[in-house]
Amino acid sequence: MHQPSIPHLSATDPDLAALVEAEATRQHDKVRLIASENYVSPAVLEATGSVLTNKYSEGYPGRRYYEGQQVVDPIEELAQARARQLFGVDHANVQPYSGSPANLAVHLAFMRPGDTFLSLELAHGGHLTHGSPVSISGKWLRPVHYGVGRETGRVDMDEVRDLARKERPKVIFCGGTAIPRTIDFPAFAEIARETGAVLVADIAHIAGLVAGGAHPSPAGHAGVITTTTHKTLRGPRGAMIMTTGEHATAIDKAIFPGLQGGPHNHTTAAIAVALKEAAREEFRTYARQIVANAQALAGALTERGFDLISGGTDNHLILIDLTKKDIGGKPAAKALDRAGIELNFNTVPFDPRKPWSPSGIRLGTAAVTTRGLTEEHMTSIAVWVDRAVAAADDEAALGTIAAEIRDLLGGFPMPGWGPAR
Ligand code: DSN
């Protein structure tokens, strides 16, 4: 059952309570490999569900448009201070509602309609808000994209430099949503300096690894760092923008009043809690284990004939091209879900198929590492993935795998769920 327990919700709205219980059980029973998801701690859950949701606080600490900020101000200041300390930055804005608004604030702060910026192509691992034609960032601005090499699956820094020299972008984005390799922040910074661009590191996926010392930090290289707080960082659904002193005012104005109204104070509090947790020594161990698990899973999948983009991973994320397995990413993801393995279908670089039915799947190890799984279990997961992909139309075989998975996960407690008493 859900923990903390939800007796008031059950009394007021049993239908909704039953759905919450069902989701908790689902999260408990599945191997969750969606690279952008995790399990938050009970402390983060409690902050998220607190009375702080009742309060309006447009503005920033000490400069609000509503009274009654005696408690909210220190909460937001605490979150800011913890972010500054953990990431080694001058300034932190903890108000963005999520990653997309955080990136839109960057656009608003540094560009005007039609201005040019440089970013990683979405199909090569970027993000919608990095200039996809279907996003406002692609409709109202002029994105120019770099990509990864067809053979290497890695960003080619020479291409980035050449494009930056030719296009003179206002902003250069590095980072994205499907990058299995280490981002070379110093190299991006050098290019940005040479071409007069603001370097923005979108570290949404790797923020927990950066905080835990398992990925190099963009601090000291990127003038602006955007991140969600709910992926490897293991906080509530929200976001932050961290900056050098130079860019602090522009970013703050872009978030409020530029894009948003009142901050979600319950989320701000939960971010503060997550940042405190991420500053602990055990979080460093956790971050290292995420990477060790991803590398073990990558190795075991490669042994079973899976084609990994870039040949492996340096972080929490694995991107697989299923073309050689003779199955599309979407039917594979759906079969895997029925087998108790939750992930997402994903485009791969140079994908000949469409985004709604692409060639790949994306896997991440942040959530299974929170459950306490280690390298030995990654071999089992690779075997299950292989069996499920090979038996995508065999419901009995998928059901057998799901039962084996429930059996394993029964020994690994989930924060937010406990057995019924
Ligand atoms: N939806 C996020 C992800 O899955 O990577 C990006 O916004």
DSSP letters, 301-357, are: HHHTT-EEGGGS-SSSEEEEE-GGGT--HHHHHHHHHHTTEE-EEE--TT-SS-TTS
Which backbone phi and psi does 345 adopt, to 5 degrees? -75, 150
When the candidates are 3.40.640.10, 3.40.50.2000, 2.40.10.10, 3.40.50.11540, the CATH number that belongs to 47-278 is 3.40.640.10
- Closest CA relative to residue 114, chosen from 169, 164, 174, 159: 169
Task: Evaluate if residue 314 carries a pLDDT over 90.
Answer: yes
Mean pLDDT of the region 344-356: 96
CB 226 less than 6 A from any atom of ligand 1: no
Task: Evaluate if residue 290 carries a pLDDT over 90.
Answer: yes
What share of residues in the chain are helix, strand, coil (percent, to 5)? 50, 15, 40
Task: Evaluate if residue 416 carries a pLDDT over 70.
Answer: yes
CB 358 less than 6 A from any atom of ligand 1: no
How many angstroms separate the alpha carbon of residue 347 from the centre of ligand 1?
A: 13
Cα gap 160→234, rounded to integer Å? 31
CB 177 less than 6 A from any atom of ligand 1: yes
Hey, whose CA ends up nearest to atom 6 of ligand 1? 177
Say if strands 59-60 and 63-64 run parallel, antiparallel, or are unpaired: antiparallel
* Mean per-residue pLDDT over the chain, rounded: 98
Instruction: Note the pLDDT tens digit of each residue in 215-233.
Output: 999 999 999 999 999 999 9
Looking at the chain, the domain(s) classified CATH 3.40.640.10 span 47-278
Hey, whose CA ends up nearest to atom 5 of ligand 1? 177
What percentage of the chain exceeds 70 in pLDDT?
100
Mean pLDDT of the region 284-307: 98
Looking at the chain, the domain(s) classified CATH 3.90.1150.10 span 281-409
Cβ neighbors of 9 (< 8 A, separation 6 or more) are 16, 17, 20
Give the ligand 1 atom nearest the CA of 178. Answer: 5
Hey, whose CA ends up nearest to atom 1 of ligand 1? 36
How many angstroms separate the alpha carbon of residue 15 from the centre of ligand 1?
A: 29
Instruction: Note the pLDDT tens digit of each residue in 85-115.
Output: 999 999 999 999 999 999 999 999 999 999 9
Cα gap 321→359, rounded to integer Å? 6
Task: Evaluate if residue 312 carries a pLDDT over 70.
Answer: yes
How many angstroms separate the alpha carbon of residue 80 from the centre of ligand 1?
A: 24
The residues that are catalytic are 56, 58, 202, 228, 231, 237
Hey, whose CA ends up nearest to atom 3 of ligand 1? 36
Q: DSSP state, 417?
A: B
Instruction: Note the pLDDT tens digit of each residue in 7-66.
Output: 999 999 999 999 999 999 999 999 999 999 999 999 999 999 999 999 999 999 999 999
CB 135 less than 6 A from any atom of ligand 1: no
| Mutation pick for ligand 1 pocket among 103, 127, 237 (CB with most ligand atoms within 8 Å) | 127
Hey, whose CA ends up nearest to atom 4 of ligand 1? 36
Mean pLDDT of the region 117-135: 98
pLDDT confidence of 419, banded at 50, 70, 90? Answer: confident
Task: Evaluate if residue 421 carries a pLDDT over 70.
Answer: no
Largest Cα span, the chain = 65
How many angstroms separate the alpha carbon of residue 22 from the centre of ligand 1?
A: 23
How many angstroms separate the alpha carbon of residue 304 from the centre of ligand 1?
A: 27
CB 101 less than 6 A from any atom of ligand 1: no
How many angstroms separate the alpha carbon of residue 110 from the centre of ligand 1?
A: 23
Task: Evaluate if residue 244 carries a pLDDT over 90.
Answer: yes
How many angstroms separate the alpha carbon of residue 36 from the centre of ligand 1?
A: 6
Instruction: Note the pLDDT tens digit of each residue in 358-405.
Output: 999 999 999 999 999 999 999 999 999 999 999 999 999 999 999 999
| Mutation pick for ligand 1 pocket among 32, 33, 34, 36 (CB with most ligand atoms within 8 Å) | 36
Class of 281-409 in CATH: alpha beta
Mean pLDDT of the region 176-201: 98
| Mutation pick for ligand 1 pocket among 177, 230, 319, 362 (CB with most ligand atoms within 8 Å) | 177
What percentage of the chain exceeds 90 in pLDDT?
98
Mean pLDDT of the region 404-410: 98
pLDDT confidence of residue 420: 77
